[in-house]
Structure 1
Amino acid sequence: MCQNHGVAYIKPGEVQVQEIEYPKLALGDRKCEHGVILKIVSTNICGSDQHMVRGRTTAPAGLVLGHEITGIVLEAGRDVEFIRVGDLVSVPFNIACGRCRNCKEGRTGICLNVNPSRPGAAYGYVDMGGWVGGQAEYVMVPYADFNLLKFPDKDQGMAYIKDLTLLSDIFPTGFHGAVTAGVGPGSIVYVAGAGPVGLACAASCHLLGAAVVIVGDMIKERLDQAKSFGCEVIDLTKDTPLEQAIEAIIGVPEVDCFVDCVGFEARGHGADAGEERPATVLNTAMAVTRAGGAIGIPGLYVTGDPGAKDTAAQQGSLSIRIGLGWAKSHSFYTGQCPVMKYHRPLMNAILYDKIKIAKAVNVEVITLQDAPRGYQDFDKGAAKKFVIDPHGMIA
């Protein structure tokens, strides 16, 4: 049997590439006839993975990481009808059965059948059903006919692979954040955070026709990356209140749409820039979004954060000014992105050259053995999206 290697979480601040079990078409003791085994072409390091690696979740040691997966089908179960061996496919990070009420309503991020603990599941993620992650050479994907997006032409797919690899998570997630914030033609948008999801969101806002996209962050290189494709930027290490910084750009101190691409490890702005303040982005959103505006929240918030400074935050309880949001009639949209709602049209946008998403998020391809270095550089704030190429298949 072929060997398999994967990136495993060891302890806070440490991951290792280890030999892991070659995947089987099995769910526990029973055969998984609706699944496939993939040879992984590309698998990406995500900011959500970093929360675990920093020790900010209850992830167990030895967890094989990775929920952003693109691969070639090597083996298919008996019940797989429409996906074929040899197909090049994108794997949504949400694992969904396609049979439950939520899946039938298109809410695949909260499938009811793939995680015994709570609605929703993902590969290689804490509390998400125990599924083996995809930062590896091979992985098993269940409910293949429902979950997988087949690229129409394998050679074309490989030519665009640095862009298409982002369909498994951050491109749909950023797009979802923009859509749920109400971004459309002529919108003025503020995107909190210029990490890969924030950059993907900003590029998505342009795709949706926004008039002005403002991105705030504390890392100069990430702000420079946002500027490289036409965004206005705000350096949050400066003491200028965000309302004033926005007014300096557009003439008024508020925006139509706000997208939180930071999540629960947020830090204060200005003089408080180094201090962790998990509710900062949410409270800022309500302060600078116009009355009647919407706030998309694709940034991750958790129910268990052992690294939080106070007891309430350790259980995901944050002090937010909900009264302000209520008074301004804000709409809030939270939760996992239902990737399948977006990945096919976004694939077409890539293949027909309507967006250069890999350029926007600054993709850098690395080997599987280089994954620990990728995690370290990403944790230091590198303005890059690290894409792992386990088999050396990306040109």
Structure 2
Amino acid sequence: MPANKAVVYEGPGKVEVHETSYPEFELMDGPGVNPANVGRKLPHAAILKTVATNICGSDQHMVRGRTTAPPGLVLGHEITGEVVETGPDVEFIKTGDLVSVPFNISCGRCRNCKERNTHICENVNPDRPGSAYGYVDMGGWVGGQADYALVPYADWNLLKFPDKEQAMEKILDLAMLTDIFPTGFHGCVSAGVGPGSTVYIAGAGPVGLAAAASAFLLGAAVVIVGDLNKERLDQARSFGCEAVDVSRGEPRDQIEEILGVPEVDCAVDAVGFEARGHGRESGEEHPATVLNSLMDVTRAGGALGIPGLYVTGDPGAHDDAAKQGSLSIRIGLGWAKAHSFVTGQCPVMRYNRQLMTAILHDKVQIAKAVNATPIPLDQAPRGYHEFDEGAARKYVLDPHGLIPKAA
């Protein structure tokens, strides 16, 4: 049985790489594992040799101590790998297949899964609908920032790349299919982005940049990205976006400078609950800032896609209401402008096959858009630190040294 190493959350601001157990076809007890899931048999699972596993902004919320994640939790929900073993109930996925893993864990059997709402599967998390690998309050499924990872319901969850050699040539792009590319795309679809649209995207981190690339793929005429970070705004400009520096103030005036009017057709929140204020308040945390500013700049009758993460428990929040996920949102403004809102995890399987095809046929260069940067697994702590400092990169962990060869 091969040795296994994984990236482990050890407390606020601290991640380490540790030796860990090789996956088994049973969910074992451990940090964050829901007691009702302990001992759950997984004959329908597959074990993957990890080819690429990404650091996500959602992971950073846990590492900053802004969730109730327990120390010892193995991190990582963005997994691309090669199948090395399958359980006895796996029928169609085969050893040797190169696959993408949706970050949502879903059974394929419940009502929500059958309605393509795989982000709120009813059967994988005993506490509430919806689950993910290596994430707090998501059932305790072991994270994939590791040499080897286990995927339940393999025939259902795994997206097989049709040509392994071709896939390895584009592996950095395909590694974005697990989460941020579908998530950004979902934000744009939810906001109604289409041909000729004007779009404002709050946040120039990887999800915001993926949303911007998605907006162009959907036919947007003008894509405007707002952020406080100059390096990230420069990254947005590198593939044709307009940029708004919200440290200068509310985005409305800068949008008017770009478009001639102070409103856009569609807006996407790619920031979430750790949002900071605009202008003079840009150094302070104001978790409702982005949602309120999007309502301000979106035209009446428009829609807001909200893939940015909001939580029900935030021990690091600055006030008691925000600690429970209660924010001072100007819902009256949204109501008066007849806005539509779509929130929640992205149902990755709704989009990942089509986006895979777009990548394989050179319709989008998502790795370039988000500045995907491979690093070895043992450099994960450095990647987390630099990402937290605002690096304009999407760090991709490469446990087995396969990505440079492919590139």
TM-score (norm 1): 0.99
Which of 234, 242, 254 is residue 245 of structure 1 equivalent to?
254
Distance 2:116 2:94 in 1: 24
Equivalent residue, structure 2, for 1:350: 359
Which of 268, 288, 299 is residue 297 of structure 2 equivalent to?
288
Q: Name whichever of 25-34 and 176-185 sits farther off.
A: 25-34
Q: Which amino acid aligns with 2:173?
A: D
Equivalent residue, structure 1, for 2:10: 10
The answer as to 2:331 corresponding to 1:337 is no
Equivalent residue, structure 2, for 1:151: 161
Equivalent residue, structure 2, for 1:101: 111
Aligned partner of residue 258 in structure 2, secondary structure: helix
Equivalent residue, structure 1, for 2:388: 379
Equivalent residue, structure 2, for 1:297: 306
The answer as to 2:226 corresponding to 1:206 is no
Q: Which amino acid aligns with 1:9?
A: Y
Equivalent positions of 1:4-153 (< 5 A) are 4-27=4-27, 28-153=38-163
Shift of 1:340: 0.2
Distance 2:26 2:44 in 1: 10
Distance 1:224 1:388 in 2: 24
Shift of 1:31: 3.5
Distance 2:387 2:401 in 1: 21
Shift of 1:25: 1.2
The answer as to 2:222 corresponding to 1:222 is no
Shift of 1:386: 0.1
Equivalent residue, structure 1, for 2:31: none
The answer as to 2:406 corresponding to 1:392 is no
Equivalent residue, structure 1, for 2:376: 367
The answer as to 2:245 corresponding to 1:235 is yes
Q: Which amino acid aligns with 1:214?
A: I
Once the two structures are superposed, residues 40-90 of structure 1 have per-residue CA deviations (whole angstroms, 9 ceiling, x without a partner) of 000000000000000000000000000000000010111111100000000
Shift of 1:228: 0.3
Distance 1:357 1:215 in 2: 16
Unaligned runs of 5+ in 1: none
Aligned partner of residue 177 in structure 1, secondary structure: helix
Distance 1:106 1:364 in 2: 32
Unaligned runs of 5+ in 2: 28-37
Once the two structures are superposed, residues 240-267 of structure 1 have per-residue CA deviations (whole angstroms, 9 ceiling, x without a partner) of x321111000000000000000000000
Equivalent residue, structure 1, for 2:202: 192
Distance 1:273 1:31 in 2: 49
Shift of 1:296: 0.3
Equivalent residue, structure 1, for 2:32: none
For the 8 Å contact 2:226–2:251, the answer to whether it is kept is no
**For residues 211 and 20 of structure 1, do their structure 2 counterparts lie closer, same or farther at Cα, with a shift above 3 Å needed?**
same
Q: Name whichever of 29-38 and 91-100 sits farther off.
A: 29-38
Distance 2:62 2:242 in 1: 31
Distance 1:289 1:250 in 2: 13
Aligned partner of residue 377 in structure 1, secondary structure: helix
Equivalent residue, structure 2, for 1:316: 325
Q: Percent identity?
A: 73
Shift of 1:26: 1.5
Q: Name whichever of 74-83 and 378-387 sits farther off.
A: 74-83
Shift of 1:30: 4.9
Aligned partner of residue 156 in structure 1, secondary structure: helix
Q: Which amino acid aligns with 1:14?
A: K
Distance 1:30 1:330 in 2: 43
The answer as to 2:258 corresponding to 1:257 is no
Which of 277, 299, 305 is residue 268 of structure 1 equivalent to?
277
Distance 1:89 1:30 in 2: 24
Which segments of structure 1 move beyond 4 Å, counting only runs of 4 or more?
none
Q: Which amino acid aligns with 1:349?
A: A
**For residues 30 and 170 of structure 1, do their structure 2 counterparts lie closer, same or farther at Cα, with a shift above 3 Å needed?**
closer
Distance 2:128 2:98 in 1: 31
Distance 2:244 2:80 in 1: 34
Q: Name whichever of 342-351 and 28-37 sits farther off.
A: 28-37
Q: Which amino acid aligns with 1:37?
A: I
